[in-house]
Amino acid sequence: MNEQHQSIVVTKNTGEKDVFDAEKLKSALRRSGATETEVDLVEQEVLYNLYDGITTKKIYRLAYNLLRNKSKRTAGRYRLKSAVMSLGPSGYPFEKFLGRLFESKGYKVSVNKIIKGKCVTHETDLIANNGTEQIMVECKFHSRITQKSDVKVPLYIQSRFLDIKAVWEQNPDLKNTRLYGMVATNTRFTEDAKDFARCVGLKVISWDYPSGNSLREWIDDSGYYPITALQSLRKKDTELLLENNLVLCRELEPNRQKLRDLNFSESNIKKILTEAAHLIS
């Protein structure tokens, strides 16, 4: 990258300005499984189209369109963040997806349970148990990528968890089980929110936090890609599948008959399953 490109300023989704960093682009491409040839090709094309003030969204679209022409698998993985943002607007698909990720780690998961605490009754998003620990997980889904969960969120969830924990501690079946609360979001937390969570021992997970154990890394490690990553699905078809509890690309092939029952044509089913197979291969 020459000196001219090193001084190009880009506009983030938040409206903030920053100097273009080619290494961040290349890192994202490599995480998606792009070959070094594809990385170089995309980098050169992006550099050719750079100008002061260009949005990160436009850079992303340019890179994605180039990848889609080379490899649907790589393109699908590159647009993973956008796919997670599409697990809305209600947030229930995000809860289901997060439940699948916990299952990939060996947890048994209960979704949308009513639990009696010491003081009041609570409606919980997820309860995950792997035999040694039990986690009350609350999901904060945001429709806008710029929206963050502030400190009020972990403050509120911690108080709910402590009320539930007081009852769990009296359960003999949980005598040797570690008990935790957790907040999961599809975007990010403010620094105050992360500081409070660390202080009280509340687990938090967001798209890129904590480093080494973030939502993005959970998805990459498990290979559990949401159906919202598929370009062959129209929005209304995606919503239909989510309503019928089909959340992951890997769940589509075993449910081929269910796709027929939902009135997907054979040609459309073939296209969907082919793209899903490329993505999870």
The ranges assigned to domains in the chain are 3-78, 86-222, 225-280
Rounded-to-integer distance, Cα 202 and Cα 36, Å? 40
CB atoms within 10 A of CB 73: 18
The answer to whether 238 and 115 have CB atoms below 8 angstroms apart is: no
d(CA 254, CA 10): 44
The pLDDT confidence band at residue 46, using thresholds 50, 70 and 90, is confident
Which stretch of DSSP H or E encloses residue 122? strand 121-129
The pLDDT-based confidence of 199 (bands split at 50, 70, 90) is very high
**Tens of pLDDT, residues 242-258:** 999 999 999 999 999 99
Share of the chain above pLDDT 90, in %: 59
Measured CA to CA, the distance from residue 211 to residue 206 in angstroms comes to 10
Q: Is the pLDDT of residue 188 over 80?
A: yes
Taking the C-alpha atoms of residue 174 and residue 168, their distance in angstroms, rounded to an integer, is 7
What band does 99 get if pLDDT is binned at 50, 70 and 90?
very high
Q: Give the separation between CA 185 and CA 88, rounded to whole angstroms.
A: 12
Residue 47 backbone dihedrals phi, psi, to 5 degrees:
-60, -40
Domain 225-280 falls in which CATH fold? DNA polymerase; domain 1 (1.10.150)
- pLDDT of 256: 96
**Could you tell me the pLDDT band of residue 72, with boundaries at 50, 70 and 90?**
low
Higher pLDDT, 251 or 35: 251
Q: Of 2-16, 18-32, 73-87, 98-112, which one has max mean pLDDT?
A: 98-112
Over 90: is that where the pLDDT of 205 sits? yes
Following DSSP, what letter does each residue of 147-210 receive, concatenated?
A: -EE-THHHHHHHHHHHHHHHHHTT-GGGTT-EEEEEEEESSEE-HHHHHHHHHHT-EEEBTTBS
Whether the pLDDT of residue 194 is over 90: the answer is yes
Listed residue (202, 224, 218) closest to 137, CA to CA: 202
The model scores a pTM over 0.85: no
Q: Is the confidence at residue 45, as pLDDT, over 90?
A: no
Positive or negative CA dihedral for 31, 32, 38, 41?
Answer: negative
The conformation of residue 248, written as its DSSP 8-state character, comes to B
Q: How confident is the model at residue 6 (pLDDT cuts 50, 70, 90)?
A: low
Topology of domain 86-222 in CATH is Trna Endonuclease; Chain: A, domain 1 (3.40.1350)
pLDDT surpassing 60 at residue 128: yes
Contacts of 35 (CB under 8 A, 6+ apart): none
- How high does pLDDT run on average in the chain? 90
pLDDT for the residue numbered 4: 56
- Per-residue pLDDT band for 195 (boundaries 50, 70, 90) equals very high
β-partners of residue 115 are 122
What string of H, E and C letters represents the secondary structure of 5-66?
A: HHCCEEECCCCCEEECCHHHHHHHHHHCCCCHHHHHHHHHHHHHCCCCCCEHHHHHHHHHHH
